[in-house]
Amino acid sequence: MTTDMNNSLYELPTESPRFVGQQVRRIEDPALVSGSVEFIDNVTLPGMLHAAILRCPHPHARIVSIDTTAARQLPGVVAVLTGEDVKRWCNPVVTAPEGWGAYCLAVDKARFVGEPVMAIAATDRYIAEDACELVEVEYEVLPAVPDAPAAIAADSPLLFENQNSNVMLQRVYDWGEVEPLFERADHIVRETFRWNRVGANPMETFGCISQWNLADNSLTCRGSYQTPSFMVLGRSASLNLPSNKVRIIAHPHGGSFGGKGGPRGTDISALLSRKAGGRPVKYIEDRAEYLLAGGGQSWDRYYEAALAVMADGTVTGLKVKLLDDQGAGAEGYGTISVAKPLAAFTGPYRIQAAQYDLTVVATNRAPTFAYRGYGPPPHNLVLETLMDSAARELGIDSAEIRRRNYIQPEQFPYTIPSGNEYDSGNYPEVLARALQMADYEALRAQQQTARDEGRYLGIGVVSTVEPGVFDWNAYRTAGVQGVGVPEGARVNFDMLGQVTVTVGFALEGQGQYTVAAQVVADYFGLEMDAVRVVCASSDAAPPHFGPGGSRVGVALTGAVLGACHKIAEKFRRVGAVLLQCEPDDLELAGGAVRMRERPEAQLGLADLAGTMLARSDLLPPDMDPHPGATHVWTPPGRTEPDEQGRCKSYLTAANATHVVLVEVDPDTGVTEILKYVIVDDCGTRLNPANVEGQVQGGVAQGVGAALLEQYVYTEDGQPLVSTFADYLMPTLHEVPITQKGAVVTPSPFTPLGAKGCGEGSIHITPAAVICAINDALQPLGVKVRETPASPSRIWNLIREAGT
Amino acid sequence: MTTRHQISVTVNGVNYQREVDARLTLADFVRHDLSLGGTHVGCEHGVCGACTILVNGASMRSCLMLAVQADGAELTTVEGLSRNGELHPVQQAFIDRHGLQCGFCTPGFLISTAELLQGNPNPSDDEIADALGGHLCRCTGYQSILESVQLAAQMMREGTIVDAASPAEA
Ligand code: FES
Ligand code: FES
């Protein structure tokens, strides 16, 4: 495996790993299936109170007065928090771009339905909610900005009075000579799209227990935190605390997908604890709160896009114009999702030049947050639909037009117009495998037969590049600073030779602790269940970011391998003393340090660790006697963005092709997925079962976005979604059982050659399904240009077309 | 504001006598009053299935029941599936087939699967989908859950637990 990091630091000292690359069972699972994992709502602390939050019922309203008298008198109520307290003690949250953040409770005015207005801590949650009902709030309703087009209208009300418009960000990126390419094009294909809001909806909502220590003015928060270090910085800024006085203890959580939320709930419970004399305060968001105002809304977009195509099907240029609705401010870092597409703007294709015309606005909808994929799913729907439109216009098969435009295997590493570098891949091979597995020609024949019978079958063949291992530099467009995202791991042997790996992030489902155990077990020749993996609190953990942007499998592997390597060096030094040779005469193999020339002369790892900790008299005088090490890994070779946002950002580029067959019933508008084939290439598969789980889970979320899910708002900005009866999550009935295949092109840039693989499926499944639906609807002369392609939407399209 | 009632329930074979508010949900009672935290709450309005437990042998959504309605009942929660420290075949099968990721939905799936296989040792895919189609999982995309249920059925029919110690063939 070649590597430009070029050192054995990132290799295993074994030719035949027993665990890495194998479909091993996850070390996380026995506790999870037994119901003994400490999810945050299972935790009770002595003296703990429970918070409930009163939320604004209007999209935009000035708060005239709040009367909490009756609530305070309810037995069991201990603390009451309003905007007045918050204004005195806090700052609005830091945002990117700057200046679009709110306080944790509405101060003076509220900007969306569900915005917290006041909060109560009581001896139990039932009482806290009773007390909220006794609070009287007088509102002066303000004119609302219900959607993005309204936000840029000339007479639009202002969301943030510190800004002079509702536009958070507006600029045009030009990468290469786009206009001349469009002038020279034989065909220009244009489309418009509306992508409606969807979001993460992990099965566990956000929860935390905050405790303000009044003696030293420090804060400890336990909770379902995806990114503890980020939470520390945010709380420090919003609560005016030194960052070393904020301690986050992340608990295992029930999924996250970027959209767990948490800053407001944490700040509110922290301040309630402060007001309650330092008693711990638990806040568990309920599902209605999550759906209305939690971290679960993302990607609210209007697109106009065009593709320049030559007569032979060569695609030369891409223009994308995006109007993006962030909702009531940038507190959820949803802005980053307009920046991420830069990392794979032109997908797997050799498109020479591109333009991105970007307008990001604030409205009176709930603030948007990260969601798995973080922006590319709608972008890829646009790109892939344009590819299909071009194919149709030129009379080329939809698989063939993609094949003709792929970046070729020998062109890697390949720099795309928007600046990112793809590490490696074999796109034609992935497509070929997918078409073969799907028996593509037979599918086309089946489609034709069905058409002859008056049935509407459609086929989607779409390809994607999934940028993996995110870097902050990818998000400069949104105002984010920084290059590099460090991830650390500490690997310690104890005196008896038992190993503990300490990381800074909690379990949330992707099986990363298993990956750490696989790597350590193979490195030191141990059994996997001899390796314990634990999460330290933010103040005790090595530098970390945790999961996000399909990074942690790769980053954690790098961190763990680096730490193992440092320990192996120490073991060789100790071994050299005990075996009376030079460290270079020794190697680590099969769970022992042994002489290269005389393998029977060996020392077990427990002996070495025990010697280091209990026989200092035997050690070299300058030796650090710790049989452990910390290593902090960061992606190599990342660069500062230029004025057009171009940089080496995401480290890896995984690739996939999805082939899907659907049938649309024109009488009901219902889409049924009949066949779904996926071939993906995410380099070395550290644990193939984990990869398949990520792929299939992403398909489910993608099918949800394509067919079912939508945060519906009325024309006046009122949300209509507050239960799972309104927000339709896909079930076993809707998610297709998929056939999966793999091509393996290792990354030359990562530890063990693995690529980020957590988001590829959601990147492309919506496009695959919608392209298939449009292929089915072609004889009817209609086309879906808005998600989700719900039965009513399709039925209306068909009716309007009068066919 | 709410009346209190004395109730007696048997959970996983242990009898509990408690005084509870009339409005206390069965889910909150089991989780917080009895400290059996394996039953999870994902929606509190009866859609997600995470809170599913067996009430007198039949699966129920404990978020939609009040604790007082369970007076006199026998309940089984996920903590009651394993016997003498041995995992129930359904639990083992979910581990073997990677039928979970975050594991938050899992107790509900395990309970409904145990109920299904009790009455139908050899369910078809459609029967599995009917039994579990009312449970939400946001992580797995269900395919591995379906395979886990098939494996559990096989293990229970054959009375075997596939060797749990060999990781390479999971
Ligand atoms: S919590 Fe009971 S069904 Fe969701
Ligand atoms: S495993 Fe996470 S919700 Fe099912």
Find the residues whose C-beta lies inside 6 A of ligand 2: A 203, 254-255, 509; B 100-106, 137-140
> Are B106 and A725 within 8 A, CB to CB?
no
Chain B interface disruption, residue of A32, A727, A759, most B CBs within 10 A: A32
Distance from the alpha carbon of residue B60 to the mean position of ligand 1, in angstroms:
10
Shared domain check, A240 and A131: yes
- The arithmetic mean of pLDDT across residues B68-76, rounded, is 98
CA distance B140 to chain A (A): 4
Instruction: With CA atoms as reference, report the closest residue to A693 among B149, B139, B96.
Output: B139
Distance from the alpha carbon of residue A517 to the mean position of ligand 2, in angstroms:
22
Which listed ligand is nearest to B45 at the C-alpha? 1
Shared domain check, A666 and A687: yes
Task: Give A 90-129 residues with CB within 8 A of chain B.
Answer: 126
CA distance B8 to chain A (A): 22
Shared domain check, A623 and A554: yes
Which chain B residue lies closest to A200 (C-alpha atoms)?
B138
pLDDT in tens, A606-647: 999 999 999 999 998 899 999 999 999 999 999 999 999 999
- Interacting residues of A658 by C-beta distance below 8 A, sequence separation 6+: A434, A460, A461, A462, A463, A464, A676, A677, A678, A761, A764, A765, A768
Distance from the alpha carbon of residue B138 to the mean position of ligand 2, in angstroms:
5
Does A441 fall in a domain?
Answer: yes
Shared domain check, A96 and A15: no
Shared domain check, A452 and A416: yes
Which residues of B fall within a CB distance of 8 Å from A726?
Answer: none
Task: Give A 735-764 residues with CB within 8 A of chain B.
Answer: 735, 737-738
A65-72 own/partner pairs: CB under 8 Å, 24+ apart = A65/A136, A65/A137, A65/A138, A66/A117, A66/A118, A66/A135, A66/A136, A66/A137, A66/A138, A67/A135, A67/A136, A67/A137, A68/A118, A68/A135, A70/A134, A70/A135, A70/A136, A71/A120, A71/A131, A71/A132, A71/A134, A71/A135
> Are B110 and A33 within 8 A, CB to CB?
yes
Instruction: With CA atoms as reference, report the closest residue to A121 among A55, A65, A66, A72.
Output: A72
List Cα–Cα distances, A155 to A122, A144, A165, A323, in angstroms: 44, 12, 10, 18
Shared domain check, A529 and A442: no
A498 touches chain B (CB under 8 A): no
Which residues of B fall within a CB distance of 8 Å from A725?
Answer: 45, 47
Does A299 fall in a domain?
Answer: no
Q: Which atom of ligand 1 is the closest one to the Cα of B40?
A: 1
User: Parallel, antiparallel, or unpaired: how do β-strands A739-742 and A61-67 relate?
Assistant: unpaired
Which residues of B fall within a CB distance of 8 Å from A30?
Answer: 87, 95
Which listed ligand is nearest to A201 at the C-alpha? 2
CA distance B121 to chain A (A): 20
A775 touches chain B (CB under 8 A): no
Which residues of B fall within a CB distance of 8 Å from A32?
Answer: 100, 102-103, 106
Residue with tokens 């000339």: A154
Contact A663, A689 (CB under 8 A): no
State whether ipTM is beyond 0.90.
yes
Shared domain check, A501 and A440: no
Shared domain check, A241 and A118: yes
**DSSP notation for A124-143:** SHHHHHHHHHT-EEEEEE--
Report the distance separating Cα A14 and Cα A18, nearest Å.
9
CA distance B76 to chain A (A): 12
Does A562 fall in a domain?
Answer: yes
**CATH number, position A229:** 3.90.1170.50
Which residues of A fall within a CB distance of 8 Å from B142?
Answer: 696, 700, 731-732, 735
**CATH number, position A658:** 3.30.365.10
Nearest to A202 among B39, B138, B164 (CB): B138
What pLDDT is attached to residue A426?
Answer: 98
Contact B48 CB / ligand 1 (< 6 Å):
yes
Distance from the alpha carbon of residue A660 to the mean position of ligand 2, in angstroms:
25
If you take atom 3 of ligand 1, which residue's CA is the nearest one?
A: B46
Does A616 fall in a domain?
Answer: yes
Distance from the alpha carbon of residue A801 to the mean position of ligand 2, in angstroms:
41
Distance from the alpha carbon of residue A508 to the mean position of ligand 2, in angstroms:
9
Shared domain check, A281 and A217: yes
What structural domains does chain B harbor?
4-80 (3.10.20.30), 89-157 (1.10.150.120)
Does A169 fall in a domain?
Answer: no
Which residues of B fall within a CB distance of 8 Å from A252?
Answer: 102-103
Which residues of B fall within a CB distance of 8 Å from A688?
Answer: none
Does A195 fall in a domain?
Answer: no
> Are B42 and A700 within 8 A, CB to CB?
no
> Are A696 and B40 within 8 A, CB to CB?
no
What pLDDT is attached to residue A181?
Answer: 98
Q: Residue A276 is encoded by which pair of tokens? A: 């309650």
Select from A236, A270, A293 the last residue of a domain.
A293
What pLDDT is attached to residue A5?
Answer: 39
How many domains are contained in chain A? 3
Which residues of B fall within a CB distance of 8 Å from A737?
Answer: 143, 146
Select from A633, A663, A689 the last residue of a domain.
A633
CA distance A47 to chain B (A): 15
What pLDDT is attached to residue A685?
Answer: 96
Contact B108 CB / ligand 1 (< 6 Å):
no
- Interacting residues of A267 by C-beta distance below 8 A, sequence separation 6+: A90, A104, A235, A238, A239
Contact B123 CB / ligand 1 (< 6 Å):
no
Range of the domain at A103: 40-142+205-252+261-293
Shared domain check, A413 and A461: yes
CA distance A285 to chain B (A): 10
Contact A505, A491 (CB under 8 A): no
Q: Residue A660 is encoded by which pair of tokens? A: 């899907």
Contact B93 CB / ligand 1 (< 6 Å):
no
What pLDDT is attached to residue B163?
Answer: 42
Does A329 fall in a domain?
Answer: no
Select from A599, A633, A667 the last residue of a domain.
A633
> Are A29 and B95 within 8 A, CB to CB?
yes
Q: Which atom of ligand 2 is the closest one to the Cα of B109?
A: 4
A337 CB burial (10 A radius; 0-12, 13-18, 19+): buried
Distance from the alpha carbon of residue B49 to the mean position of ligand 1, in angstroms:
5
> Are A697 and B101 within 8 A, CB to CB?
yes
Nearest to B136 among A29, A203, A698 (CB): A203
Instruction: With CA atoms as reference, report the closest residue to A657 among A627, A695, A689.
Output: A695
- Over its C-alpha atoms, chain B yields an Rg (Å, rounded) of 16
Shared domain check, A465 and A577: no
If you take atom 4 of ligand 2, which residue's CA is the nearest one?
A: B137
Helix (H) or strand (E) holding A570: helix A552-579
Q: Which atom of ligand 2 is the closest one to the Cα of B100?
A: 1
What pLDDT is attached to residue B1?
Answer: 54
Does A167 fall in a domain?
Answer: no
Shared domain check, A548 and A461: no
Where chain A has pLDDT below 70, the residues are: 1-9, 803
What pLDDT is attached to residue A11?
Answer: 85
Q: What percent of chain B has pLDDT over 90?
A: 90
Percentages (nearest 5) of helix, strand, coil residues in chain B:
40, 20, 45
What pLDDT is attached to residue A89?
Answer: 96
Q: How confident is the model at residue B170 (pLDDT cuts 50, 70, 90)?
A: very low
Which listed ligand is nearest to B137 at the C-alpha? 2
Which listed ligand is nearest to B100 at the C-alpha? 2
Strand-pairing partners, residue A80, are A120
- The arithmetic mean of pLDDT across residues B134-155, rounded, is 98
CA distance A736 to chain B (A): 8
Nearest to A203 among B82, B96, B137 (CB): B137
Which chain B residue lies closest to A27 (C-alpha atoms)?
B95
